[in-house]
Amino acid sequence: MVNLITNIQPTLDFIPPNFNPFVLKICQWGIPFWIKWKTPLVEIKGEKVERLVNLYQQFQSGKIRFLLAFRHPNTDDPFCMSQLLWRFVPETAKQQGIALSDPIHAHFMYDRGIPLWAGQFVTWLFPKLGGTSILRGKVDRLGLRSARDLFLTGQFPLAAAPEGATNGHNQSISPLEPGIAQLGFWCVEDLEKAERTEEVYLVPIGIQYFYIQDNWQDLERLISQLEKDCNLPQKTEELTTQSLYGRLMRLGNYLLDTMENFYRQFYHRSIPQDETLDFSERLKRLLDIALTVAEEYFNLKPTGDLNSRCRRLEQAGWDCIYRYNLKGNDNWSVVELGLADRVAIEASLRMWNMRLVESFVAVTGRYIRENPTFDRFAETTLIVWRMINQLKGNTSIKPPNLGKKRAKLTVGEPISVSQKWSDYQTNRRQAVANLTQDLQNALEQMIEY
Residue 175, pLDDT > 50, answer yes
Hey, is 203 helix, strand or coil?
strand
Give helix 374-392 / helix 241-267 axis angle, nearest 10°: 30
pLDDT mean over 207-214: 97
pTM score: 0.93
Q: pLDDT value at position 67?
A: 98
Q: Is the peptide bond preceding residue 103 cis, with omega within 30 degrees of 0?
A: yes
Residue 449, pLDDT > 70, answer yes
Looking at the chain, the whole-number percentage of residues with pLDDT higher than 90 is 82
Residues 6+ apart with CB under 8 A from 381: 219, 222, 223, 226, 248, 402
Residue 171, pLDDT > 70, answer yes
pLDDT mean over 38-63: 97
Closest among 245, 257, 247, 277 to 366, alpha carbons compared: 245
Q: What kind of architecture, by CATH, is found in domain 9-212+405-445?
A: 3-Layer(aba) Sandwich (3.40)
For 101-143, how does the pLDDT look when each residue is reduced to its tens digit (9 = 90+)?
Answer: 999 999 999 999 999 988 899 999 999 999 999 998 888 999 9
Give helix 334-350 / helix 306-321 axis angle, nearest 10°: 160
Give helix 120-128 / helix 21-38 axis angle, nearest 10°: 130
pLDDT mean over 55-80: 97
Query: Using CA atoms, how far apart are residues 178 and 406, in angstroms rounded to an integer?
Result: 30
Residue 342, pLDDT > 70, answer yes
Q: pLDDT value at position 85?
A: 98
Closest among 394, 309, 396, 389 to 353, alpha carbons compared: 309
The whole-chain average pLDDT of the chain stands at: 93
For 387-398, how does the pLDDT look when each residue is reduced to its tens digit (9 = 90+)?
Answer: 998 888 877 678
**CB half-sphere exposure, 198, CA atoms < 13 A:** 25
Q: Where are the domains of the chain?
A: 9-212+405-445, 216-392
Residues 6+ apart with CB under 8 A from 18: 127, 128
